[in-house]
């Protein structure tokens, strides 16, 4: 059976105990950061700091379709092209 990788806390976050080891799942639950994001930030590291458990800078990842022309374009761009 494979061991769960844990990371040593070197952050000043009040939700986490200093020097304690945490798995990605535990960190995700305690900090509210998605597990995939934490995996990308901590990939080959042994410990984490405040930099790795910061909230994301951008709230919206993909642009939202705002105008009617953008919505119409998105509707037609997914259609199949056929010979007429």
Identify the burial level of 24 via C-beta atoms within 10 angstroms of its C-beta, where 0-12 means exposed, 13-18 middle and 19 or more buried.
buried
* Per-residue pLDDT reduced to its tens digit, 7-45: 999 999 889 999 999 999 999 999 999 999 999 999 899
Q: How far is the C-alpha of 27 from the C-alpha of 50, rounded, in Å? A: 12
Q: Which residues pair with 6 in a beta bridge?
A: 23
Distance of CA 68 to the CA centre of its chain: 31
* Per-residue pLDDT reduced to its tens digit, 40-81: 999 899 999 999 998 877 666 566 777 888 888 878 887 877
């Amino acid at each position: 059976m494979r061991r769960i990788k844990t990371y040593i806390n070197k952050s000043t976050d009040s939700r986490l105990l200093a020097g304690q080891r945490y798995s990605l799942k535990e960190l995700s639950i305690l900090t509210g950061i998605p597990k995939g994001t934490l995996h990308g930030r901590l990939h080959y590291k042994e410990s984490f700091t405040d930099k790795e458990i910061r909230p994301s800078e951008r709230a919206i990842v993909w642009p939202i379709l705002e105008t009617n022309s953008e919505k119409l374009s998105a509707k037609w761009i997914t259609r199949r092209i056929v010979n007429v």
